[in-house]
């Protein structure tokens, strides 16, 4: 869920659903006149679902690549930095290609610095958790950021959250606790890193909410990614491990998977209703289980399966309430 850093990371993060909204707008076309509106809507819905499925595949591959690299004893900071090099190169290339340099001017530079402070530890905690835990376990716990964001929006932004949404939030957090399995013999202390990663990702969501009235989506993403890349790169001299030639390809692929994943996610929300495509974000859990089993032989236990079901049902209910009643502020 770079559900973190890119927030990487996670699908529940609406800001990152829009990461490449500006990029995708230029490719959005009107329906051909010979096609009925109903038929076009049906095709759009199908395309939206397929785009979301592809986006979640990209996110699943990103997380799997991250686990592969940290499991190969590359320091967490080094993985974050090198991945950031590739992502930053793509972002800078887009700025040059689309001549968007003027759009990077900001009136709130210190707000971006604060956001960076909040966000930087997200990928650090998540990748640290991936060193010791199965991919599916980490993914399930980090999904708790959705419910943390909703809960924290009340004291921070005075948003109105009714009984229905509070019930879904509490149930979702219970699902996270089940997946953490505290007090049992199988409790993994590294699960706390995954929980802290989810909290950091919630902070990314909330700071984006704070800045959305004055900053563009691209500004939010650009300054966050460049900042994370610079900070992690500054620490490289003290942790650097020589990168094997073949592993450079994995680092590059991880950056590409992240970018492509979010492009597909963005397109999904552009061509189909949110209420239709949002539930398919949870298919990233399927990829996490599949990659975890195929690559590392991991099979989630009953705690993870139960927690995942509770989290998914709670998340789907939040999506249902939002799509039925409109903006989050109005949802009960």
* Structure confidence by residue, pLDDT tens digits, 255-295: 999 888 877 877 787 777 766 777 788 888 899 999 999 99
* Structure confidence by residue, pLDDT tens digits, 285-327: 899 999 999 999 999 888 899 999 999 898 888 777 766 665 4
* Structure confidence by residue, pLDDT tens digits, 181-209: 775 655 788 888 999 998 888 888 788 77
Secondary structure string (H, E, C) spanning the chain: CCCECCCECCCCCHHHHCCCHHHHHCCCCCCCCCCCHHHHHHHHHHHHHHHHHHHHHHHHHHHHHHHHHHHCCCCHHHHHHHHHHHHHHHHHHHHHHHCCHHHHCCCCHHHHHHHHHHHHHHHHHHHHHHHHCCHHHHHHHHCCHHHHHHHHHHHHHCCCCCHHHHHHHHHHHHHHHHHHCCCCCCCCCCHHHHHHHHHHHHHHHHHHHHHCCCCCHHHHHHHHHHHHHHHHHHCHHHHCCCCCHHHHHHHHHHHHHHHHHHHHHHHHHHHCCHHHHHHHHHHHHHHHHHHHHHHHCCCCCHHHHHHHHHHHHHHHHHHHHHHHHCCHHHCC
Are 124 and 84 spatial neighbours (Cβ–Cβ below 8 Å)?
Answer: no
* Structure confidence by residue, pLDDT tens digits, 200-246: 888 887 887 788 778 877 787 788 889 999 999 999 999 999 999 99
Placement of tokens 């699943």 in the chain? 60
* Structure confidence by residue, pLDDT tens digits, 146-161: 788 788 888 887 777 7
Q: How many CB atoms lie within 10 A of CB 73?
A: 8
**Whole-prediction pTM value?**
0.78
């Amino acid at each position: 869920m770079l559900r973190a850093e890119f927030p990487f990371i996670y699908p529940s993060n609406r800001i990152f659903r829009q990461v490449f909204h500006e990029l995708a707008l230029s490719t959005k076309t009107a329906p051909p006149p010979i096609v009925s509106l109903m038929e076009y809507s049906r095709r759009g819905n199908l395309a939206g679902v397929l785009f979301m499925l592809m986006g979640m595949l990209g996110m699943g591959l990103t997380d799997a690549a991250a686990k592969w690299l940290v499991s190969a004893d590359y320091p967490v900071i080094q993985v974050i930095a090198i991945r950031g090099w590739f992502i930053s190169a793509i972002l800078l290339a887009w700025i040059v290609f689309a001549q968007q340099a003027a759009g990077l001017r900001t009136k709130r530079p210190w707000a971006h610095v604060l956001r960076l402070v909040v966000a930087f530890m997200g990928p650090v905690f998540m990748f640290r958790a991936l060193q010791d835990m199965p991919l599916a376990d980490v993914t399930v716990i980090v999904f708790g950021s959705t419910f943390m964001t909703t809960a924290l929006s009340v004291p921070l932004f005075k948003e109105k959250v009714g009984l229905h949404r509070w019930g879904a939030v509490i149930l979702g957090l219970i699902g996270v606790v089940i997946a953490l399995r505290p007090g049992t013999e199988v409790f993994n202390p590294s699960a706390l890193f995954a929980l802290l990663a989810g909290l950091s990702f919630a902070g990314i969501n909330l700071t984006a909410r704070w800045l959305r009235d004055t900053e563009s989506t691209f500004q939010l993403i650009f300054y966050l990614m460049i900042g994370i890349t610079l900070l992690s790169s500054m620490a490289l001299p003290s942790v650097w491990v020589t990168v094997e030639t073949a592993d450079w390809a994995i680092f590059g692929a991880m950056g590409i998977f992240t970018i492509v994943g979010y492009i597909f996610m963005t397109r999904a929300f552009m061509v189909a209703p949110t209420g239709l495509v949002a539930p398919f974000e949870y298919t990233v859990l399927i990829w996490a289980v599949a990659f975890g089993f195929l690559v590392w032989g991991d099979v989630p236990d009953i705690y993870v399966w139960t927690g995942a079901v509770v989290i998914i049902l709670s998340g789907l209910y939040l999506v249902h309430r939002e799509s039925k009643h409109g903006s989050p502020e109005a949802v009960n």
